[in-house]
A = this chain, B = another copy of it.
Amino acid sequence: MRQIPFYATHLEGSFWGDMQRISREVTLDAIYDRFAETHRFAALKCDREMQEREGWKPHIFWDSDVAKWIEGLAFALERGRDARLEAKADELIDDMCKNQLENGYYNCFYNLYKTDQRFTTRHEHELYCLGHLIEAAVAYYHATGKDKLMGLVEKYIDLVDRIFRVEQSAGFVTPGHEEIELALIKLYRATGKEKYLTLAKFFLESRGRNDLDIKGYYDWGNSPYAQDHAPIREQTTAEGHSVRAMYLYIAMADLALETGDEALYKACDTILHNVAEKRMYVTGGIGSSHIGEAFTVDYDLQNERAYTETCATLALALFCQRMTRLKPCGLYGDVAELCMYNGSISGVSISGDSFFYENPLSIDLANRDKNPSTKQKDRFPITQRLKVFGCSCCPPNILRFVNSIADFLYTEEGDSLYVHHFMNGTTTLEGKTLRQTTGYPADGKVQLSAPGYGRIFVRVPGWCDSFTASAPYTLQDGYACFEGVSELSFDFHMAPRILVADPAVHENAGRACIAYGPAVYCLEGVDNEGDIFSLALRRDSEFSLTPSDYFRLPVITADGIARRSCGKLYCRPEDIESLPRKLTFIPYYGMENRGETDMMVWIPLI
């Protein structure tokens, strides 16, 4: 199965075209400026004297922040070069290359500090940083033809290969934070050099098999925290730090794609089912707990305290995209869509310049952190997006995700085309032109022009109860298969739906949420008078839609009630008056964009 790469597609207007416009016009500079202010770029100069003079010190993972900004830029440059921004990237790359050591090593922290401790401390993110540098190098080279960063990483990898795989002289065997594995496979694909696949395989196959890594890692972590609890083919559940887990699963899927390893595919599929069926928020959010930023147990999906890191949801989408290449299957596309339209892009403001690291499903301002008697507070996610974080992995991750979103669209196999997702745009590849004309996901109408294929498989979104197509089809694993046509139109019937959670999700007992197409909705205080937590949704609600340019998706009005206090703290049910109330729902991803306000996804259903 061959992927049609994102850069073959030009997205125009509509949902993702607009997201990319904001990303280019605002987000690229916003992140750059914040990173500059926080010394992330100055750190690349490896000038200890300057650092001491100015009173700051680099963090061990800053190289990865820089790399992801470069990669995000590179993805944006595929749609059109930009001398101003390229000059910035070139300077960053120059600084890094200047400071690459003779033996190939480069890390803005370890170049200056704890120099005798390189490759000794598993949780110190050196290989994670290298992984992101590799991804940046590949992307920047493809977009610009400039190979300087490629030179740095190839030399650096040679060192890593010797120390880790050949000599096995490092203080650990596999990285504490996965990332280099998927990056090495990407580099292998870009260069055709087998050695990169070999090293990726080494890291992947060693995981969960060696005492050096498993024993004596984090004091507060057990082996599943870093996915060390079993060799990769024997892992069946998503465990531990959710971003690390997803980066591992992506690499496992990539390796399965390269090797045709059926057992590895099966492990990936089993894990993805565990996530989708037991450990995922309705927003595509994963990793419930702030302790270890981790998966916990099946159905443990607390709303107000949801951790659900932006990066984890982005990575789950990418994992699904890789799985789609292995075997098209409706579930993979459905989970990817949940991530794409909900818990990932909730991580960036509509304005494009501020970010959530955590994406809770409920924000209750009255009750949190308000205890006047103590300075120490209970832990909850923040309620307003920030411009930058101390650990600012999420902002540039959104940047690269949005600018390569078209990677999700198409794969080919023989004379078959697979259409996995729906975005308004034109794809030009090897003389072929594909075109989708659609307002998706604001509406479910899609026109597809795809000449030159014998068969066209179109994913029927799992949320869709009924659809019409302009030609006859057969259904197969969540895809409608058309033969011998090149012009198609679909209408995925799109109406607000009420969803409930499995009864095993205890937090959501008696509650429901509203979804429209792939987008999950929420209520905010700013749109709904009074206390939103006193509202309930009628199960026989009618819905009305109001188009919204701001949210790129319609605002939904539903029928509900507002419960009114009788003045007693506890009373009989009949003492509580229920007043009819129109409820206003907005897309979840657009939450908290209009000032700090209460927010709720799961509302009591009556």
Please report A residues at the B interface, Cβ cutoff 8 Å: 219-222, 224-225, 229, 239-241, 276-278, 280, 282, 289, 291-292, 294-297, 299-300, 302, 364, 366-367, 370-378, 497-506, 509-512, 531, 533-534, 536, 539, 563-573, 575-576, 604-606
In the bound complex, what is the Cα–Cα distance between A474 and B502 (angstroms)?
A: 54
In the bound complex, what is the Cα–Cα distance between A576 and B499 (angstroms)?
A: 10
In the bound complex, what is the Cα–Cα distance between A292 and B377 (angstroms)?
A: 10
Shortest distance between the CB of A379 and any CB in chain B (Å) = 9
How many copies of this kind of chain does the complex include? 2
Q: From the candidates B239, B302, B374, B568, name the one contacting A220 in the complex (CB within 8 A).
A: B374
Establish whether residues A503 and B373, one from each chain, have CB atoms under 8 Å apart when the complex forms.
no
Q: List 24 A-B contacts (CB under 8 A).
A: A220-B374, A220-B375, A224-B372, A225-B373, A225-B374, A239-B373, A291-B371, A291-B374, A295-B373, A302-B367, A366-B504, A497-B572, A499-B571, A500-B570, A500-B572, A500-B573, A501-B569, A501-B570, A502-B568, A503-B531, A503-B533, A503-B534, A506-B533, A509-B536
Establish whether residues B569 and A291, one from each chain, have CB atoms under 8 Å apart when the complex forms.
no
In the bound complex, what is the Cα–Cα distance between A541 and B277 (angstroms)?
A: 33
In the bound complex, what is the Cα–Cα distance between A482 and B345 (angstroms)?
A: 70
Q: From the candidates B371, B375, B573, B605, name the one contacting A219 in the complex (CB within 8 A).
A: B375
A598 and chain B: residue at smallest CB distance: B506
In the bound complex, what is the Cα–Cα distance between A229 and B563 (angstroms)?
A: 34
Given the contacts A278-B569, A570-B501, A573-B498, A299 and B367 also touching, CB distance less than 8 Å: yes
Shortest distance between the CB of A20 and any CB in chain B (Å) = 29
Closest 3 CB pairs of A and B: A510-B604, A503-B534, A506-B533
Establish whether residues B531 and A510, one from each chain, have CB atoms under 8 Å apart when the complex forms.
no
Q: Is the interface of A mostly helix, strand, loop or mixed?
A: loop
A239 and chain B: residue at smallest CB distance: B373
Establish whether residues B569 and A277, one from each chain, have CB atoms under 8 Å apart when the complex forms.
yes
Establish whether residues A509 and B604, one from each chain, have CB atoms under 8 Å apart when the complex forms.
yes
Chain B residues closer than 8 Å to A225, beta-carbon distance: 373-374
Chain B residues closer than 8 Å to A372, beta-carbon distance: 222, 224, 229, 239, 297
Given the contacts A499-B570, A571-B499, A373 and B294 also touching, CB distance less than 8 Å: yes
Establish whether residues A221 and B373, one from each chain, have CB atoms under 8 Å apart when the complex forms.
yes
Establish whether residues B376 and A291, one from each chain, have CB atoms under 8 Å apart when the complex forms.
yes
Q: From the candidates B292, B539, B575, name the one contacting A371 in the complex (CB within 8 A).
A: B292
Chain B residues closer than 8 Å to A533, beta-carbon distance: 503-504, 506, 509
Q: From the candidates B300, B367, B504, B571, name the one contacting A565 in the complex (CB within 8 A).
A: B504
Shortest distance between the CB of A461 and any CB in chain B (Å) = 14
Establish whether residues B280 and A569, one from each chain, have CB atoms under 8 Å apart when the complex forms.
yes
Given the contacts A221-B373, A224-B372, A604-B509, A570 and B502 also touching, CB distance less than 8 Å: yes
Chain B residues closer than 8 Å to A370, beta-carbon distance: 296-297, 300
Q: From the candidates B291, B294, B512, B565, name the one contacting A573 in the complex (CB within 8 A).
A: B512
Establish whether residues A297 and B366, one from each chain, have CB atoms under 8 Å apart when the complex forms.
yes
In the bound complex, what is the Cα–Cα distance between A160 and B511 (angstroms)?
A: 58
Establish whether residues A294 and B503, one from each chain, have CB atoms under 8 Å apart when the complex forms.
no
In the bound complex, what is the Cα–Cα distance between A77 and B570 (angstroms)?
A: 39
In the bound complex, what is the Cα–Cα distance between A302 and B282 (angstroms)?
A: 23
Establish whether residues B511 and A531, one from each chain, have CB atoms under 8 Å apart when the complex forms.
no
Q: From the candidates B222, B367, B563, name the one contacting A373 in the complex (CB within 8 A).
A: B222
Chain B residues closer than 8 Å to A276, beta-carbon distance: 569
Establish whether residues A367 and B300, one from each chain, have CB atoms under 8 Å apart when the complex forms.
yes
Shortest distance between the CB of A578 and any CB in chain B (Å) = 10
Q: From the candidates B278, B292, B506, B510, name the one contacting A510 in the complex (CB within 8 A).
A: B510
Shortest distance between the CB of A588 and any CB in chain B (Å) = 13
Establish whether residues A511 and B510, one from each chain, have CB atoms under 8 Å apart when the complex forms.
yes
In the bound complex, what is the Cα–Cα distance between A269 and B217 (angstroms)?
A: 56
Chain B residues closer than 8 Å to A536, beta-carbon distance: 509-510
Q: From the candidates B366, B563, B567, name the one contacting A299 in the complex (CB within 8 A).
A: B366
Given the contacts A299-B366, A573-B605, A241 and B512 also touching, CB distance less than 8 Å: no
Chain B residues closer than 8 Å to A503, beta-carbon distance: 531, 533-534, 563-565, 576
Query: Which of A282, A372, A373, A512 has most B Cβ within 10 Å?
Result: A373
In the bound complex, what is the Cα–Cα distance between A156 and B216 (angstroms)?
A: 54
In the bound complex, what is the Cα–Cα distance between A220 and B220 (angstroms)?
A: 25
In the bound complex, what is the Cα–Cα distance between A415 and B564 (angstroms)?
A: 45
Chain B residues closer than 8 Å to A510, beta-carbon distance: 510-511, 536, 604-606
Establish whether residues B505 and A569, one from each chain, have CB atoms under 8 Å apart when the complex forms.
yes
Establish whether residues B531 and A221, one from each chain, have CB atoms under 8 Å apart when the complex forms.
no
Given the contacts A299-B366, A372-B224, A377 and B570 also touching, CB distance less than 8 Å: no
Chain B residues closer than 8 Å to A300, beta-carbon distance: 366-367, 370-371
Establish whether residues A373 and B292, one from each chain, have CB atoms under 8 Å apart when the complex forms.
yes
Establish whether residues A531 and B504, one from each chain, have CB atoms under 8 Å apart when the complex forms.
yes
Chain B residues closer than 8 Å to A531, beta-carbon distance: 503-504
In the bound complex, what is the Cα–Cα distance between A240 and B376 (angstroms)?
A: 13
Establish whether residues B500 and A296, one from each chain, have CB atoms under 8 Å apart when the complex forms.
no
Establish whether residues A373 and B240, one from each chain, have CB atoms under 8 Å apart when the complex forms.
yes
A536 and chain B: residue at smallest CB distance: B510
Shortest distance between the CB of A178 and any CB in chain B (Å) = 14
Q: From the candidates B371, B563, B604, name the one contacting A289 in the complex (CB within 8 A).
A: B371
Chain B residues closer than 8 Å to A534, beta-carbon distance: 503-504, 509
Shortest distance between the CB of A221 and any CB in chain B (Å) = 5
Establish whether residues A296 and B605, one from each chain, have CB atoms under 8 Å apart when the complex forms.
no
Chain B residues closer than 8 Å to A567, beta-carbon distance: 277, 502
Shortest distance between the CB of A566 and any CB in chain B (Å) = 8
